[in-house]
Amino acid sequence: MLRIGCHLSSSKGYLHMGREAVSIGANTFQFFTRNPRGGSAKPVDEKDAAAYRAFAEANGLGTILAHAPYTLNGCSADPAIRDFARRTMLDDLQRLEYVPGSLYNFHPGSHVGQGVQAGVEMIADMLNRILWEDMRTTVLLETMAGKGSEVGGSFEELRAIIDRVEMKHKLGVCLDTCHVSDAGYDIAGNLNGVLEEFDRVIGLDRLKAVHVNDSKNPLGARKDRHEKIGLGHLGTEAIVRVINHPALRNLPFLLETPNELDGYAAEIALLKEAYR
Ligand code: FE
Ligand code: FE
Ligand code: ZN
């Protein structure tokens, strides 16, 4: 069965997201843990989390993906900004224990001229300070488009971070189809080749989720502008190959396309229909 969902607003809590997901034919979803610009989060509503867990169980909702605010930067040149990223991620991870077994995805960061090596070391250092043995969440590094000084635009950079983290068993990777294409990996034209390279550099066993997005820009553009499925440079056929690929087909697929709920419902229906 295809595990598919989309990005939803978390402002009304877990149960609301669960109901919304079911209403558009989804069986998983993604949400920001707090305002994407990085503001403070409301206290965890334990009743809402408990009601959601029961609803998810009754309605077949699978593993969900929490997304860190994309403005966090664990490899900033400013120690106060690095510290804020670390404290925010730790707080997010502690709160996610109310929905055990979830995935937590974050953008590795931007080294802002300090160099990839320095960035990799600071990101790994942050992870080494926040992961703990009994946590029930898996933390995912997202494949990035490589715009500006983003770390994570190549599989080698993600591998270098993972290599420096002590609790590697708490780590995975989320592959974003728009980002990897923008980073120069020809996922539309050579899916097998890209996955072979992922396997050789990182290992496909690390791959825990896929962000399914078309791209407004061509291969290697390094822009990171998502497009609706079929309207961008990847195209519907390439996306259909992604969801059906033997190495990917059992992973959760999350749409982050520029859509409202009805648009997401249509893309979910399209991909369910195309799943073999
Ligand atoms: Fe992301
Ligand atoms: Fe993404
Ligand atoms: Zn993106």
Q: What is the pLDDT of residues 23-78, one digit of tens each?
A: 999 999 999 999 877 677 888 899 999 999 999 999 999 999 999 999 999 999 99
Which residues place a Cβ less than 5 A from the ion ligand 1?
142
Q: How far is the CA of 57 from the centre of ligand 3 (A)?
A: 30
- What is the arithmetic mean of pLDDT over 2-8? 98
Burial class (CB in 10 A: 0-12, 13-18, 19+), 114: middle
Q: What is the pTM of this model?
A: 0.98
Q: How far is the CA of 192 from the centre of ligand 3 (A)?
A: 22
Task: Provide the mean pLDDT of the chain.
Answer: 97
Considering its fold, how many domains does the chain have in total?
1
pLDDT exceeds 80 at position 93: yes
Whole-number Å distance between alpha carbons of 138 and 171 = 6
Domain span including residue 232: 3-274
Burial class (CB in 10 A: 0-12, 13-18, 19+), 11: exposed
Q: How far is the CA of 104 from the centre of ligand 1 (A)?
A: 11
Ligand with minimal distance to 105 CA: 1
Interacting residues of 31 by C-beta distance below 8 A, sequence separation 6+: 7, 8, 9, 10, 17, 64, 65, 66, 67
Give me the percent of the chain exceeding a pLDDT of 90: 96
| Helix/strand/coil for 264 | helix
Ligand with minimal distance to 176 CA: 2
Q: How far is the CA of 70 from the centre of ligand 1 (A)?
A: 7
Q: How far is the CA of 50 from the centre of ligand 3 (A)?
A: 31
Looking at residue 142, which CATH number applies to its domain?
A: 3.20.20.150
Q: Is 142 left (phi over 0), alpha (psi -120 to 50) or beta?
A: beta
Question: Both ends of the chain: CA-CA distance in Å?
Answer: 9
Ligand with minimal distance to 66 CA: 1
Q: How many other C-beta atoms lie within 10 A of the C-beta of residue 102?
A: 16
Annotated catalytic residues are: 37, 67, 70, 107, 142, 176, 179, 211, 224, 226, 256
Q: Which residue has the tokens 């502008």?
A: 225
